[in-house]
Amino acid sequence: MIDFFSSSLKGKTFIFRLDPRVKFISLIIIFVSLLLVKHVEYYLFWLFIATITIFSNKIHLKFIARPMRFFVWLFIMTIIFHALFTPGRVVFHFNRIYITFEGIEKGIFFSIRLFLIILFTYLFSLTTNPMDLTDGLSRLFSPLRKLRIPVDDLFIIIHIALRFIPTMSEQSSRILMAQRARGLNFNVKFTERIKHLSSLIIPIILLSIKRANELALALEARWYHPGRKRTSFIKMSLKRIDFSIIAIVLISTGGILFCEILR
């Protein structure tokens, strides 16, 4: 199972020491660049940047290849969809099914875009601690408090949801193994398999309610009150490396967009 926002690595290289706010802003800027450009060579530039980031920070390729295999079907379907429904020069046809050269080219283009978006998102989640991320985002969006938006409470909810993902995944695996040990067989017809799902879904829902109740009691015991201003023991301050990374991302994105406008 792939957990985009619940798994993270620990390291001492620069990307692990970056401020989470800087990484989040850089990710948004890269997304904007990926969505605006219309030539594949600019995508190759960001792919080169991602490759340099992976190897310079000593991130093993297995951490990248493992989740990417879940999206292979998405890339294939993107290419097939565009190849079938994009008009242009026909390279293959069978009855009323036409595959065009422009469709294949467009499908590959969008597949590379999807790949880079997923890759940068996973690098971001892999090198950022969820607690640091939620704390950094709450500080980044702190000006919204003047508009009476409960920023702190919102990001606490997000943090709790992210922490629950691996917990519920582990509980689901335990329940599945326990039901199999009791003789429940899932190697049956599809209709019977659907009926067996109730023996998994009901315990998962009950455990979720139980854990939510325990969490609510723990928050009350620690005098948590929604809406009240709270302090944090995590101190965040921008360093030279943070400003350098933001400058590099802005200059790269600005140069790409300028070249795109000229073309």
- Using 50, 70 and 90 to split pLDDT, how confident is the model at 5? very low
Instruction: Kindly report which listed range (30-44, 166-180, 247-261) carries the lowest average pLDDT score.
Output: 166-180
Instruction: Kindly report which listed range (98-102, 201-205, 226-230) carries the lowest average pLDDT score.
Output: 226-230
CA 123 from centroid of its chain's CA atoms: 9
Per-residue pLDDT at 158 exceeds 50: yes
User: Which residue in the block uniquely carries the two structure tokens 């691996």?
Assistant: 166
Task: Give residues with Cβ within 8 angstroms of 67, minimum separation 6.
Answer: 2, 4, 118, 122
C-alpha distance from residue 173 to each of 100, 119, 150 (Å): 45, 27, 35
161 against 110, higher pLDDT: 110
Residues 15-31: what's their mean pLDDT?
A: 89
Separation of alpha carbons 130 and 25, rounded Å = 16
Per-residue model confidence as pLDDT tens digits over 102-153 = 888 899 999 999 999 999 988 888 888 877 888 888 888 888 878 877 777 7
Separation of alpha carbons 64 and 53, rounded Å = 12
Per-residue pLDDT at 164 exceeds 50: yes
Report percent pLDDT > 90 for the chain.
Answer: 15
Helix, coil or strand: residue 17: helix
Domain regions of the chain by residue span = 1-150+237-263, 151-226
Instruction: Kindly report which listed range (69-83, 130-144, 155-169, 199-213) carries the lowest average pLDDT score.
Output: 155-169
Task: Give residues with Cβ within 8 angstroms of 196, minimum separation 6.
Answer: 179, 184, 185, 186, 188
Separation of alpha carbons 244 and 149, rounded Å = 31
13 against 75, higher pLDDT: 75
Separation of alpha carbons 55 and 48, rounded Å = 11
Per-residue pLDDT at 4 exceeds 60: no
Facing residues of 99 across strands? 92
pLDDT given at position 251: 92
- Structure tokens that stand for 117 in this block: 């978006």
Separation of alpha carbons 126 and 98, rounded Å = 41
Task: Give residues with Cβ within 8 angstroms of 188, minimum separation 6.
Answer: 196
pTM, two decimals, is 0.76
pLDDT given at position 113: 92
Per-residue model confidence as pLDDT tens digits over 211-248 = 888 888 887 887 777 766 666 666 777 888 889 999 99
Task: Give residues with Cβ within 8 angstroms of 3, minimum separation 6.
Answer: 165, 166, 169
The half-sphere exposure of 7 on its side-chain side, counting CA atoms within 13 A, is: 12
Residues 97-101: what's their mean pLDDT?
A: 82
57 against 195, higher pLDDT: 57
Residues 48-77: what's their mean pLDDT?
A: 85
